[in-house]
A and B are shown apart, each in its own frame.
Chain A
Amino acid sequence: MSTSSAESHTALPTSRGALAVEVTSLTTGYRDQVAIADVSLALEPGTFLGLLGPNGSGKSTLLKALVGLLPAWEGSIRLLGMPPQEARSRVGYMPQAEDLDWTFPATVQEVVAMGLYQRSFGFRRFRRGSDERARAALERLSVADLATRQIGELSGGQQRRVLLARALVKEPDLLLLDEPTAGLDAPSERGLLDLLRELANQGKTILASTHDITCVNERCDYALCLNRSVIAFGPPVEVITEETLDRTFDGHVLVLGRSGQQLAVAPHVQHDHARTRD
């Protein structure tokens, strides 16, 4: 089941045309609190980056800055060669499923069709055809049968697939995914990551935050370890070492086995801590 990381690297496009993602010395945060500082990264089209880091390390902040929800205090962001606001129509974003109101009265199809939103004026506003495209996106994630369901009836795995369908529905070139696999059981998680791998192979650039070090190791072209600033960035074999994981997760990671195949467990410890504190 493991794709060797070396193999996926040979699939990397080597031409240095317009970078899909180019972040230079980015610093941003909330109110007057710095959340991430001096973050730089560059991704070529068709690459799959796994963004690793504990809760509160700034993974969501980085993704929000990339979609243009947070302004860059310092540094710059370019997506597909453009400022984030101009790249919107070619970028698909998936927020954390936990942040959404799943009791909202809407059908799956309505939610997926929201992904097609574009600012438009006059009669173009009433253009039809969004239903078919929403259905096609759901079909791609093999959940077409859910189209007419209430979103409140979905399981965790189905919720993620619907949100991913919403991010994919306008056929974006760049996907920014915030914890797409959080809370999924192992088979659903693997299925979803295989799908992302396939999309990257088709030329889409994917940046996904996750807690799952093993999956990043197996499926991503690059890994970025973030803990308020970049701890390490590069191919997973180089980045995912005991030392960098220790620094990224503040020593909360247990690394099992070290030669070639690494199994790292633990970031969820952070969740448990948070819960006991409640």
Chain B
Amino acid sequence: MIDWLADPWHFEFMRRALLAGALVALAGSVVGAFVVVKGLAFLSDAVAHSSLAGAAIAFLAGGGSIAISIGAALAAAATAVSVSFLTHRGQLREDTAIALVFAGLFGLGILLISRARNYALELNSFFVGNILTVPTEDLVVMGVLAGVVLAITLVFYRELLFTAYDPTMAAATGVPVALVQTGLMIMVALAAVVAFRLVGVVLVMAMLVAPAATAALLVRRIPLIMAGGVVIGLAATVVGLYASFHGDVAAGPAIVLAAVALFAIAFVLSPRGLGVIGHLRGGARPAFG
């Protein structure tokens, strides 16, 4: 049993994967708390997928990890701004606007990558991640980006919280609401870039939503949801990496499945879900509210 538990961590690539997972848990949960609470999952998924276009342009121009991250962030900002423009000026419903921008930029991203010499390989690593072969340089970039996301959140926490809770009053008090909302989308993109390597662009959303949504079932304050999300995201990474190592399955999807499974367990047990714990204790189930 102890060998079963200890074996994976004898390997350098597994330790790197764990570190990468920790960084994803950090960036994903800090941003994910706002995504979950504000119902921004679809917009964030669009931002994550659209940032592929920016990443691809930087990649084709011969840029390294840093250039790819900047490209992704710029594409994310473009997505957030276009969605906002289409919704407010074009009088489109927001989900229609999101779908259009999502499709356009994601299509552009795939089209650009198809110009690459080893198209299938690159596309595959973008789509499902390749955490077990991540080079040190990429780990450093992931760490820096996670740090940036955390620093922005700490410095602008009041603006982020105020805008998330009550944008009208926030604007009336002088918070630059549009800027904060675009900033949050850029943070989503940065978190997505951090998570690319771990789970790939298709499943990035899971690492933003699942740990924070699980934490939101258990605690009811934004900072606690963030902290709880980090712990849950890390737990999912550990479980997923064990499954990958011993079950010989791809690491990314295993981590995502573990994250969703943790949510399911919390949903069944928590009073905000099915409340099984409360029922077992014989207590009355608290009302939603």
Contacts and interface: CB of A to CB of B under 8 A. Distances in A.
Interface in B120-175: 155, 158, 161-162, 164-166, 168-175
A105 B155 contact: no
A107 B220 CA distance: 8
Contact of A103 (B158, B169, B225, B289): B289
B19 interface: no
A119 B174 contact: yes
Interface string A117-146: 111000001000000000000000000000
Nearest to A113: B158
Contacts of B289: 102-103, 152-153
B165 A117 contact: no
Interface string B198-228: 0000000000000000001001111001000
Given A105-B221, A105-B225, A125-B158, A117 B170 contact: yes
A29 B225 CA distance: 39
A182 B221 CA distance: 28
A83 interface: no
A67 interface: yes
A117 B158 contact: yes
Nearest to B166: A100
Nearest to A120: B158
A104 B158 contact: no
Interface residues of B, number: 23
A39 B75 CA distance: 44
Given A95-B168, A110-B161, A153-B289, A117 B173 contact: yes
Contacts of B221: 105-107, 110
Interface string A77-109: 000000001001000010100011111111100
B170 A93 contact: no
Given A104-B37, A105-B216, A152-B289, A69 B171 contact: yes
B165 A101 contact: yes
Nearest to A119: B174
B173 to A, nearest CB: 5
Given A105-B37, A125-B155, A117 B175 contact: yes
B34 to A, nearest CB: 11
Contacts of B164: 104
A133 to B, nearest CB: 14
B168 A117 contact: no
Contact of B174 (A88, A150, A166): A88
A41 interface: no
Q: Which of B169, B170, B174, B220 has the most CB of A within 10 A?
A: B169
A88 B171 CA distance: 10
A111 interface: yes
Majority DSSP secondary structure for residues of B touching A: helix
A68 interface: yes
A118 B173 CA distance: 7
Nearest to A66: B172
Contacts of B166: 95, 100-101, 114
A125 B165 CA distance: 19
Contacts of A99: 168
A182 to B, nearest CB: 16
A169 to B, nearest CB: 11
Nearest to B177: A69
Nearest to B156: A125
A118 B225 contact: no
Contacts of B216: 105
A106 B165 contact: yes
Interface string B166-190: 1011111111000000000000000
A106 B223 CA distance: 10
Interface string B57-101: 000000000000000000000000000000000000000000000
A272 B175 CA distance: 36
B165 A114 contact: yes
B220 A150 contact: yes
Which among B158, B170, B219, B225 has the greatest number of chain A C-beta atoms within 10 A?
B158
Contacts of A101: 165-166
12 contacts: A64-B168, A69-B171, A88-B172, A88-B173, A88-B174, A95-B168, A99-B168, A101-B166, A106-B165, A106-B222, A107-B221, A114-B161
Interface of A: 64, 67-69, 85, 88, 93, 95, 99-107, 110-111, 114-115, 117-119, 125, 150, 152-153, 166
